Structure 1
Amino acid sequence: MVDPVILFFVLGVAAGLMRADLRLPAPVYEFLSFLLLLAIGLKGGVELANQSPLALLPQIVVIGLMGTLMPFIAFPVLRFLGRMNRADSASIAAHYGSVSVGTFAVAVAYLNFREISFEEYMPLFVVVLEVPAIIIGIMLARGVSRDTAWGRMAHEVFLGKSIVLLVGGLLIGWALGAEGVEPIAPMFFDLFKGVLALFLLEMGLIAAAQISVLRRHGVFLVAFGIGMPLVGAVIGTGVSLLLGLSLGGTVIVATLAASASYIAVPAAFRLIVPEANPTLSLTASLGVTFPFNVIAGIPIYHAMAGVVHGPGGVF
C-alpha cells in the first residue's frame, strides 16, 4: 500500500505540470512549515529527555563530520564535470551537504506507516547537519579572508527559521518531557500526518515549477540530482553502521545524507554569496532530488539498510 502523503505530493506535481489553478496561500504554507519544524523538534526533545547528552556526543560528532564531508564530494563534480563557476558549484554543494526537513518528515512518516521503529533523537541530527555544509560551502565560494562576513553568516545560519524552530522545539520537548507536552500533543503530534500531506501538496507544485529550468540546463542537473543522493545514502548507511543504529535509524540517516536543503542554505547564500544563481541550486534540490527521494529514494535507502542489517530486515 502506498503511503497517502506520497500521493498528495504526486497530486501537487501533476497539478503543477498541468498548470492547474491550485496553490496554497503563502501564509498557510508558512504556517504548515512552522508546525512541521516545531513538531519534529518537540518529538526529538521528548526523547532527548530520556537520553544522556554525553552518551550522544560521539554520534553528534560523527554526524557533523558527515555533513562536513558531503560538500567536498559534490564541489569537484559540479566544478569540473558540470563546468559550473565557483560560486554556483559551492552553492549547490552546500545544498547537498545540508538537509531537507521535508524529506526527513517524509522518511519518518514512511517508517511509521510500516511500523518500523527508529531512534527518536534523530531530529537532533537534522539540526547538526544544517550548519557545517553552509560554512564549508561559503569557504569554497569565497575562501577564508578578513573580508568574509562571518558575523552576518552566523546570524543567518543560527537564527534562520528552520534552526530556531527545530532547536526551540528540541529544548521545549527536552525541558517538558512526555507528560509536559501532552496538552499540546493533539496540535503537534496527532495532526502531523495531515499537515505533512498538505505541505507535500504545495512542495509538489513548487517542484513542478522548477522542471521548466531543466530544459535550459540539460541533463547534468538531473544526473547530479539523482546520483548525489545515492552517493550520500551509501555514506549515510556506512555511518549508521559505525554508530550501531537500528534499521529505522539507518534509513533516517541515509535519507538525511541523501537530501538537499531548500530553506537554510538558500537564505545564507543569498546574503553572503549573492552572485550564486539560486535557480540552479533550487532546481537541482527541489526539481530533481526532492521528488526522487520522496517517490523512489526512501524505499531504495530502506532496501539498502535492510541488506546491511541482514535477512528479514527490509520489509
Structure 2
Amino acid sequence: MQNFLDPAILFFVFGLLAGLVKSNLEIPPPISRFLSLYLLMALGLKGGFALAGSGFNASVATSLACAVLLAILIPVMGYQVLRRFLSGFDAAAIAATYGSVSAVTFITTTQFLESHQIAYGGHMAAAMALMESPAIVIAVLLANRVRHSLSVQSNSLASNQQARIAGSQVSLGKLLHESVTDGAQMLLMGALVIGMLTGESGKAVMHVFSVDLFKGMLAFFLLDMGLLAARNISALKTSSIGLLIYAVVAPVLHAGIALLLSVLCGLNPGDACLLMLLAASASYIAVPAALRIAIPEANPSLYIGLSLGVTFPVNILVGIPLYSHIAQRVLAH
C-alpha cells in the first residue's frame, strides 16, 4: 500500500485514469523526450558516482554476467512458448520485446529502493544497458529462420523470400550499430563513465541535478507514461486471452529466473530486486522501433500493446514492491 502513496506512482495512476476517461491532457512529445533523457543522464551519473566508490570487482562482474544471460535466455524461451499459438514473426517480435528491458521501470525501481533505504550497486545501470540489444539480434535471427522456412514451403515465392532474407541479414549489423549508438543508450553510458571519472567531487557539484530534481522529473514522466499506457490498453481489445495472460504471467516467471540466479550468485537484495525487475520488464521504445524495420511482418499493436498496456502498469503498480519484498526475504543475511 505504501508504494501507491508515493507521489510518482500516484501521478502514473492519475495519468492512467485521465487516459481511460479520454481526457485531452497530454505532455508534448519534445518535453517527454527531454524528461526521458534527463532521467537516463541522472541515473547514469548516480551509477557512476557509486561505481567510483566501489570499483569494478567480482560482485559487479557476476551481476553483469547474470544480466547478459537473462537477456539471451528470456527471448529464446519466450519464442518457444509463443510460437505455439502465433505466427513466427509475431512470436519473435513479442519474445524480443519481453527479452529486452524498460528503462522507466528500472528508474522507478531505483527510486523506490532509495526511498526505502535499500542499497543497490551503481553498476546495475550498466546491466540495464547490456540487456537491451541481445533480444533484437535473437529476434532477427529467428525471423530469418521463419522466412527461410516459408521460402522452402513455397517455391513460387522462393526468389522473393530469399531477397528478403538477404536484406534482413545485411541489416543485422546496421541494427546492432544503431542499438549500441542509440542516443539514449549512449547518454546513459556516457553519464556513467563521467560519474566514475569525477567521483565524489562530481557528485557534490551535480547533486542538485541528479538527486534533488530527480523525484519531480520522474513523477512528471510517469504522468506521461500513464496517459500512454491508457491509450495502449484500449488497443488490446482484439487480443486473445492467452496473450493477455502471457503479458502478466511471463514477466513473473522471468523475475523468478532472475531471483534464482541472484541466489546462486549471492547478489544482495537491492541488486537482486533490480535484476528481477529488468527480467520482468518489456521494452516499448527501443526494441519496437528496431522491430518495425527488422520484422515488418509482425503486428506492432501486439508487441507494443502488451508491453505498454499490460506489463508496464503491472510492474509499476505491483511488481516493484512485490519483487523488492521477495528479494529481501530470500536474500537478507
- Same fold flag (TM > 0.5): yes
Distance in 2 separating the partners of 1:91 and 1:257: 17
Distance in 2 separating the partners of 1:226 and 1:165: 31
Q: How far has the Cα of 1:209 moved from its partner?
A: 0.3
Q: How far has the Cα of 1:183 moved from its partner?
A: 2.4
2:111 to 76, 95, 109: 109
Match of 2:151 in 1: none
Q: Secondary structure of 2:70's match?
A: helix
8 Å CA contact 2:64–2:124 kept in 1: the answer is no
Q: How far has the Cα of 1:103 moved from its partner?
A: 0.3
1:145-294 paired onto structure 2 within 5 Å: 147=167, 148=169, 149-294=171-316
Query: 1:246-286 CA deviation, whole Å, 9 max, x = no partner?
Result: 11221111111100011221122122222222211111110
Match of 2:157 in 1: none
TM, length-normalised to structure 2? 0.88
Distance in 2 separating the partners of 1:58 and 1:249: 11
1:77-96 paired onto structure 2 within 5 Å: 77-80=81-84, 83-96=85-98
Distance in 2 separating the partners of 1:46 and 1:146: 45
Q: How far has the Cα of 1:146 moved from its partner?
A: 5.4
Number of matched residues? Answer: 309
Q: How far has the Cα of 1:291 moved from its partner?
A: 0.2
Distance in 2 separating the partners of 1:184 and 1:114: 22
8 Å CA contact 1:156–1:267 kept in 2: the answer is no
TM, length-normalised to structure 1? 0.93
Q: Secondary structure of 1:267's match?
A: helix
Distance in 1 separating the partners of 2:296 and 2:27: 28
Match of 2:53 in 1: 50
- Counterpart residue identity of residue 263, structure 2: L
8 Å CA contact 1:214–1:221 kept in 2: the answer is no
Distance in 2 separating the partners of 1:117 and 1:47: 11
Q: Secondary structure of 2:282's match?
A: coil
Q: Which runs of 5+ in 1 are unaligned?
A: none
* Greater mean alpha carbon deviation, residues 103-112 or residues 239-248: 239-248
Q: Secondary structure of 1:50's match?
A: helix
1:295 aligns with 2:317: yes
- Counterpart residue identity of residue 116, structure 2: R
Match of 2:160 in 1: none
1:11-50 paired onto structure 2 within 5 Å: 11-50=14-53
- Counterpart residue identity of residue 293, structure 1: N
Q: Which runs of 5+ in 2 are unaligned?
A: 149-164
- Counterpart residue identity of residue 97, structure 1: G
8 Å CA contact 2:137–2:172 kept in 1: the answer is no
% identity of equivalent residues: 41
Match of 1:60 in 2: 64
8 Å CA contact 1:162–1:263 kept in 2: the answer is no
Distance in 1 separating the partners of 2:284 and 2:182: 12
Distance in 2 separating the partners of 1:238 and 1:44: 24
| CA RMSD, Structure 1 to Structure 2 (Å) | 1.8
Distance in 2 separating the partners of 1:192 and 1:243: 31
Q: Which has the larger radius of gyration?
A: 2
8 Å CA contact 1:3–1:113 kept in 2: the answer is no
Distance in 1 separating the partners of 2:183 and 2:303: 19
Distance in 1 separating the partners of 2:37 and 2:114: 21
Q: How far has the Cα of 1:54 moved from its partner?
A: 5.5
- Counterpart residue identity of residue 249, structure 1: D
Distance in 1 separating the partners of 2:331 and 2:68: 23
Q: Secondary structure of 2:18's match?
A: helix
